[in-house]
Amino acid sequence: MNKEVALVTGAGRGIGLATTQRLLDDGFHVVMVDLNAEPLATNAAALLEAGGSVEHHAISITDRAAVSALIASLPRLDVLVNNAAVFWDGKFDDVCEDDFKKMYEVNVIGAFVMAQEAIKVMKRGARIVNVASRAYLAGYAHSPYITSKAGAVGLTRGMAFDLAERGIFVNAIAPGLIETDMFRSLTPERQQELIAKQPTKEVGQPEDIANGIAFFASPRTRNVTGQILTLDGGRSMGISIY
């Protein structure tokens, strides 16, 4: 295949779907992966109908056998976007150990499995983009998510060192509040509370994150690795003391 191939996880909706569209606009063939088969198939069909070079696969990023078989079937793999994740809110006292493990299994181990299988076929100049979250810095009432996203940042930095000499670049995006089903799963009160803390008083759009991902995914972005790009309406600047 002449086109560069990008694999996007969690591509059935939200940020993953916007990223798929953006990478199609940038000339990639996009391999869409999502656990949730129905929206994935519908959205992939719409993109195909519009002339997009896409294929879709309903698998879990935690299923190593399925991931390995899919990656082995691709003609080439230039970009991996590790975007799929799960999220839920909850006070620390109420966090249940099984839920904590489940979140870590998808948000960290899933990304690790994807990357470890991807690098078996990736060549010099390939790029991996992990979608972390601004939440890795801190936040109320979602300690398992914060832990998993700090894990995504750690994975990015660790992989960046290990893969640098092979010419595989690994970077991460840390989104702030983005208007997707994940954000809409919060109560309206919690949504308003979080928006009020944004310096911009705005919730970001999936396309804002897709643009950042496209920067790291671009073949023109050379010699950049181990970086975390925070796209959060200025929230991570901290609290103004004036």
Ligand X SMILES: NC(=O)c1ccc[n+]([C@@H]2O[C@H](COP(=O)([O-])OP(=O)(O)OC[C@H]3O[C@@H](n4cnc5c(N)ncnc54)[C@H](O)[C@@H]3O)[C@@H](O)[C@H]2O)c1
- 32 lines the binding site for ligand X (CB under 6 A): no
Question: Which residue of 83, 156, 171, 225 would you call a contact of ligand X, by CB under 6 A?
Answer: 83
The set of residues, in sequence order, having a beta carbon less than 8 Å from that of 116 and lying 6+ positions away, is none
Size of the site for ligand X (CB under 6 A): 30
| Residues 84-103, interacting with ligand X (CB under 6 A) | 84-87
Is the CB of residue 20 less than 8 Å from the CB of residue 125?
no
Is the CB of residue 136 less than 8 Å from the CB of residue 149?
yes
Smaller CB separation from ligand X, 139 or 219? 139
Say how many Å lie between the first and final Cα of the chain, rounded: 56
- β-sheet bridge partners, residue 82: 130
User: Taking CB positions, which residue lies at the least distance from ligand X?
Assistant: 14
What sections of the chain are H helices per DSSP? 14-25, 37-49, 64-73, 97-104, 111-118, 143-164, 181-184, 188-196, 206-217
Question: Which residue of 35, 67, 129, 214 would you call a contact of ligand X, by CB under 6 A?
Answer: 35
Minimum distance from CB of 39 to ligand X (Å)? 7
Minimum distance from CB of 223 to ligand X (Å)? 26
| Residues 111-170, interacting with ligand X (CB under 6 A) | 131, 133
- 15 lines the binding site for ligand X (CB under 6 A): yes
* Three-class secondary structure assignment of 78-120: CEEEECCCCCCCECHHHCCHHHHHHHHHHHHHHHHHHHHHHCC
Which of 104, 140, 145, 242 is an active site residue?
A: 145
| Residues 185-224, interacting with ligand X (CB under 6 A) | none
Question: Which residue of 129, 178, 213, 214 would you call a contact of ligand X, by CB under 6 A?
Answer: 178
- 43 lines the binding site for ligand X (CB under 6 A): no
Minimum distance from CB of 189 to ligand X (Å)? 16
Cα torsion 43, 61, 130, 240: sign: positive
CA distances from 81 to 91, 182, 184 (A): 30, 18, 23
Neighbours of 193 (CB within 10 A): 12
Annotated active-site residue 242? The verdict is no
Question: Which residue of 36, 42, 116, 200 would you call a contact of ligand X, by CB under 6 A?
Answer: 36
Query: Which residues would be at the binding site for ligand X (CB under 6 A)?
Result: 9-10, 12-16, 33-36, 60-62, 83-87, 106, 110, 131, 133, 175, 177-178, 180-183
Residues acting as catalytic residues: 145
